[in-house]
Amino acid sequence: MALSMYQASVPVFIRMLTNLKAVLQKAAAQAQARKIDEAVLVNARLYPDMLPLSRQVQIASDMARSGAARLGGAEPPSYEDNEKTFAELIARIERTIEFVREHKAGQIDGSEGREIVRPVRGEPHKFTGQNYLLQFILPNFFFHVTTGYDILRHNGIELSKGDFIGKLD
């Protein structure tokens, strides 16, 4: 059986966002227990020229929301990028999961050949739905989820690979 566009997108987004939410909850609890100002972690970076944790979470959310919407033939809703606390980042993830979950297989399956035009490095780029998902959305989504995890782990939050991957079905 072939893997459908829906199977390669919506369940993947939901699973990894759920795992990211759990990672942020763990970080918030550890920060509170160790009396670490959560703003230090929310604004932490792996390297000075990289984006902070808050932006990593925001962009991961954007990728999931944009991917689901555009593969379904719609434009995604816009979220303000103003989260400054773990609670606000977690709420954004929850809102994103709710939005992504609304997309059903019938909306996304068959979008492999749909033309999607998005700016890449400031220039319009034409994708097929399949290339948009596999070459743009998923790599960006996983990069930002991973970088968010890495920022927290680098800053001493006790996390494991199991936290990133989540409970296996």
Residue 85 belongs to a domain: yes
DSSP-assigned beta bridge partners for residue 124: 119
What's the mean pLDDT when you consider all of the chain?
96
- The pLDDT, as a whole number, for residue 13 is 98
Return the structure tokens found at 80.
Answer: 């303000």
Residue 95 belongs to a domain: yes
pLDDT grade for 128, boundaries at 50, 70 and 90: very high
Residue 49 belongs to a domain: yes
Nearest to 10 by CA among 143, 152, 126, 107: 107
Q: What's the CATH code of the domain at 109? A: 1.20.120.450
At 92-117, the pLDDT tens digits run 999 999 999 999 999 999 999 999 99
- The pLDDT, as a whole number, for residue 1 is 61
At 60-91, the pLDDT tens digits run 999 999 999 999 999 999 999 999 999 999 99
Return the structure tokens found at 19.
Answer: 């795992």
Residue 29 belongs to a domain: yes
pTM exceeds 0.85: yes
Residue numbers of the domain that contains 135? 10-161
Domain count, the chain: 1
Residue 114 belongs to a domain: yes
